[in-house]
Amino acid sequence: MQRYEILIRLFLSRAKVIYEQIPTFALAKLDIMSNAKEIEKRRTFGIISHPDAGKTTLTEKLLLFGGAIQTAGAVKNNKIKKTATSDFMEIEKQRGISVATSVMAFHYNDKQINILDTPGHKDFAEDTFRTLTAVDSVILVVDVANGVEAQTERLMEVCRMRNTPVIIFVNKLDRDGKESFDLLDELESKLNIKVCPLTWPIGMGDRFKGVYNIYNESLNVFSPNKTGISDDIQSFSDLESVELDEIIGEEAASELREEVEMIHGVYDAFDRDTYLSGEVAPVFFGSAVNNFGVQELLNTFCDISPSPRGRDTDLRTVEPMDKKFSGFVFKIHANLDPKHRDRIAFLRVVSGTFQRNTFYNHVRLEKKLKFPNPTSFMAQDKSVIDEAFPGDVVGLYDSGNFKIGDTLSEGERFMFKGIPSFSPEIFMELENLDPMKSKQLDKGIRQLMDEGVAQLFIQQPGSRKIVGTVGQLQFEVINYRLEHEYGAKCRFAPKNYFKACWVTTENDEQLQAFKRAKANYIATDKDDNLVFLAETPFLLTMAEQDYPDLVFHKTSEFKVGE
């Protein structure tokens, strides 16, 4: 026994000597290789659509195929008493719509999939646009019956501005809708992008039997299954198979063969580079509610979608392979768990490795912060993580240090660019209905404003609170959350303002004259910046002419130097 102990000690001492002789650069190279492997595994994307196109249902089915959930509940099916996994706010469950971005992560085919499910309603476009800064690609869901709708075009414009790679999923093929070739023409003309079908539907509505996968030349014929993954799948690799005629019928089989031949003649073969550059959008067909075409979409997405990409800062472009950690906050959400009154900042990791209990530089505040309980997400379910890599979205418990757009880094002083800020279009005064709950109301409205759902302006005398949003529905959400999350009752009274403008100048004398002349239209935002609430475009133009040394900023972006 003593002899074995001597041999073990000798082995360990020699191993230590060998380790100590490994050059530092070699160890660093091992770290880089490890990081490169983790980065390549990541797929971070957003799901966007016009309201009711089936975006949240598709999200659930992707989670189902990824094994993250065991059964999916149709969002609007009252027979299944479950709401969508990604809709975690109570008002979302009641209204059947998404009003906040949800973050979900799961593993599939050796990939770490990070899904950001966004609101479809135009009143919550701000949240969606900010989320698009945190993703590397997008799946755009289109209703086969409605085709390209107004919000679809607006979302696509944002994707085209950043050359974000887009995959289009044509949904609800279990219902009758537009002919597939007509829809492809509409997608190209209205979205201003070339398309390339990678799957093709077999029939539509009552005749819908499955999808042919053009990408890998295989055919799956399904039986509908709304709550689980269907076991009744028949696969074919040969379109000329006689057995195919027997299963889907000679007419459907003949039509499929003819249409696939036409696709090869009309559309260019798929090229991954043109997709990654945002020039071509691959198109998939299916029915998310019945699980038709979802697995084909997910498998192909894992093959062709981009791994994490770099981001621009005010100094340089930061790449995922950069050794030092950096990331930016693109979303803040209060009361993710109403029982604990927590406030979470959502951070997209851009470079390096984020590590738990490590001090990082908060660039705007110029101070060091560390995070003992960083989390990953499955909608509202959270789990503590020790590290995160580029592409990951990390939840940081926040006591009020963060604003949307903030940068964390391992030391370098730069700010990530491109986080959009919006000028409100609708203004209402917040009226307190319960003076005994004034503190709760004040705390609640300020926390909700930090989330970026609206802008808060304070007018004197009396500290009157004016709330500005880009959509009417946001006021309903704010009212609901103030009452149910903070116990504060209020109502909103309309105010006749055209635009909020942030005012800056180096001419203090002119500024004081302006404030005296426009006292009834002067306010401050929650950060005490001066704001002019213009009633009409004419009055704004006159103010710009009368006070030429004042700069009237149409959004609050000037505060972060963008």
Instruction: Report pLDDT for 379.
Output: 47
Instruction: Report pLDDT for 15.
Output: 54
- How does 326-352 read in b/e, with b if 16+ C-beta sit within 10 Å? bbbbbbbbbbbeeeeebbbbbbbbbbb
- Stated as kind and residue range, the H or E segment containing 184 is helix 180-191
Cβ-based burial of 283 (10 A; exposed 0-12, middle 13-18, buried ≥19): buried
Q: Any bridge partners for residue 327, and if so which?
A: 349, 408
Instruction: Report pLDDT for 234.
Output: 61
DSSP string, 38-100: HHHHEEEEEEEESTTSSHHHHHHHHHHHTTS-S----TT-TTS----TT--SHHHHHHTS--S
Place of tokens 């999200």: 59
CB 450 within 8 A of CB 515: no
CB 177 within 8 A of CB 204: yes
The phi and psi torsions of 499 (rounded to 5 degrees) equal -160, 145
Rounded Cα distance between 158 and 129, Å, is 7
Instruction: Report pLDDT for 546.
Output: 93
**pLDDT tens sequence for the chain (562 residues):** 555 565 556 555 655 555 455 554 444 444 556 688 899 999 999 998 888 888 888 988 888 887 766 554 433 333 333 444 444 455 445 544 444 457 788 888 889 999 987 765 555 566 777 888 899 999 999 999 999 988 888 888 888 888 999 999 999 999 999 999 999 999 999 999 999 999 999 989 888 888 888 998 888 776 665 554 554 556 666 777 787 788 788 888 899 889 999 999 999 999 999 999 999 999 999 999 888 899 899 999 999 999 999 999 999 999 999 999 999 998 888 766 556 567 888 999 999 999 999 999 999 999 999 999 998 876 446 688 899 999 999 989 888 888 888 999 998 899 998 776 677 888 999 999 988 988 989 888 888 887 777 889 999 888 899 998 877 878 888 888 888 888 889 999 999 999 999 999 999 999 999 999 999 999 998 888 999 999 999 999 999 999 999 999 887 665 544 4
Instruction: Report pLDDT for 139.
Output: 95
Q: Which DSSP letter does residue 307 get?
A: P
Q: In 3-state terms, what secondary structure has residue 414? A: coil
CB 406 within 8 A of CB 364: yes
Rounded Cα distance between 414 and 4, Å, is 56
Instruction: Report pLDDT for 418.
Output: 77
Cα dihedral: 443, 449, 455, 459 (round 10): 10
Rounded Cα distance between 60 and 106, Å, is 12
- Nearest CA to 335 out of 440, 473, 435 is that of 440
Rounded Cα distance between 524 and 330, Å, is 24
